A and B are shown apart, each in its own frame.
Chain A
Amino acid sequence: GEDVEQSLFLSVREGDSSVINCTYTDSSSTYLYWYKQEPGAGLQLLTYIFSNMDMKQDQRLTVLLNKKDKHLSLRIADTQTGDSAIYFCAESSTGGSYIPTFGRGTSLIVHP
Chain B
Amino acid sequence: SQTIHQWPATLVQPVGSPLSLECTVEGTSNPNLYWYRQAAGRGLQLLFYSVGIGQISSEVPQNLSASRPQDRQFILSSKKLLLSDSGFYLCAWSVGGSNTEAFFGQGTRLTVV
A40 at the interface (CB under 8 A from B): yes
Assembly CA distance A48 to B90 (angstroms): 20
Question: Which residues of chain B come closer than 8 Å to A90, judged between CB atoms?
Answer: 102
B104 at the interface (CB under 8 A from A): yes
**Residue among B43, B98, B107 with most chain A CB within 10 A:** B43
Kindly state the interface size class of chain A when it binds its partner. Answer: 20 to 34
Assembly CA distance A58 to B72 (angstroms): 32
**Residue among A42, A43, A97 with most chain B CB within 10 A:** A42
Q: Which residue of A lies closest to B9 (CB)?
A: A40
Of B34, B99, B103, B104, which is within 8 A of A93 by CB? B99
Q: A residues near B, CB below 8 A?
A: 8, 30-31, 33, 40-45, 48, 88, 90, 92-94, 97-105
Subset of 25 A-B contacts with CB under 8 Å: A8-B41, A30-B99, A31-B100, A41-B106, A42-B6, A42-B90, A42-B92, A42-B104, A42-B105, A43-B44, A43-B90, A43-B104, A44-B104, A45-B102, A45-B103, A48-B101, A92-B99, A98-B94, A98-B99, A99-B32, A99-B34, A99-B46, A100-B102, A102-B46, A104-B42
